Amino acid sequence: MSQHILIIDDDPQIRSVLRIALKQAAMEVSEAGDGAEGLAKAASGRFDLIVLDIGLPEMDGLEVCRKLRVTDDTPVLFLTARDDEIDRVLGFELGGDDYVTKPFSPRELVGRIKAILKRSGGAAPSAAKTLQHGNMHLDPTRHQCLIEGRAVALTAREMGILSHLMTRPDQVVPRPALTDAVYGAHIHVSDRTVDSHLRNLRAKLADAGCADAIETVHGVGIRMGACKAT
C-alpha cells in the first residue's frame, strides 16, 4: 500500500513541485492551501505524514500543528523560509519530526520524508502480546490501553512511551534511551517535546485513576510506578 502524504502550503507552485516529486516516489498525495483546510483534511483521512508550511496566512503552521497535536500524532515535516524559525517551533513544544528550509531540493525533501516514515514505522513496539502492569492492560498491536476495563485514548507517541516502559517494568530507562526508542535514534527531539508527551500521558493515566503510573528518577531516567486504580 502506498503511503499517503498531506501537503499544507498556500503556494500552488510548491504544492505542484512536491506533488510531482512524491508521486514519482510512488506516494499518494492530498493537498490543502491553508491551515483550516489542512486541519479538516487531516481529521477526515488517515495520513502517514504531513508536510506543513510554517508561513501560512491567517493560521500559521505552528498553530496548525498545535491544534493537530491535540488528537493526532501523525509525523510532521515543517517547511520554513528561515533557519531561525525552527527555534520558534522548538519553543512551542510542537513535536515536529523534521524541517526543510526553502528553497529546497525535492530529492532531499523526499529523502527526509522516507527517513521519517521509516522511523515512525519502526518506533512501534514489536511485542505482539498484551502487556500488564497493575490494573493497566496494553495491547500495542491494537493500539489499546485499558485501566480496569476502561479505555484510555493515547496518541502513537504516548503509546510508544508506555509500551517501552511496560516491557521493562523493573528498570529505570535513561531519557536518551527512551527518546531513541520512541522517536528514532537519528532525529533531534527537544527535551521540551519529550516532557510535553510525558506530561500528557501522565495526565491521561491520572484521569483514569493511575496518577503514579510513571515515575521520574531524577538524574537517572523514567520508570513504571504503581497502577492500582480504585
Domain edge (last residue) among 99, 122, 145: 122
Residue 200 shares a structural domain with residue 149: yes
At 87, is the pLDDT very low, low, confident or very high (cuts 50, 70, 90)? low
CATH code assigned at 178: 1.10.10.10
Cα–Cα distance measured from residue 155 to residue 80, given in angstroms and rounded to the nearest whole number: 26
Total domains in the fold of the chain: 2
Residue 149 shares a structural domain with residue 209: yes
- Domain for residue 151, yes or no? yes
Domain edge (last residue) among 122, 148, 164: 122
Number of H helices, E strands in the chain: 8, 11
Averaged pLDDT score across all residues of the chain = 83
For residue 191, CA distances in Å to 7, 71, 194, 217 come to 27, 21, 5, 16
- Domain for residue 229, yes or no? no
For residue 207, CA distances in Å to 137, 152, 190 come to 16, 9, 26
CATH code assigned at 32: 3.40.50.2300
Residue 102 shares a structural domain with residue 153: no
**Three-state SS for 170?**
coil
Residue 113 shares a structural domain with residue 162: no
Residue range of the domain that includes 185: 131-224
User: What amino acid is encoded at 40 in this protein?
Assistant: A
C-alpha 68: how far from chain center: 10
Mean pLDDT over residues 205-217, rounded?
91
Residue 110 shares a structural domain with residue 46: yes
Cell of residue 62, nine digits: 505552528
The Cβ-side half-sphere exposure at 131, using a 13 Å CA radius, reads 24
- Domain for residue 230, yes or no? no
Cα–Cα distance measured from residue 84 to residue 172, given in angstroms and rounded to the nearest whole number: 36
* pTM above threshold 0.75: no
In percent, the amount of the chain with pLDDT more than 70 equals 85
Residue 142 shares a structural domain with residue 101: no
Indicate left, alpha or beta for 215 from its phi (over 0: left) and psi (-120 to 50: alpha): beta
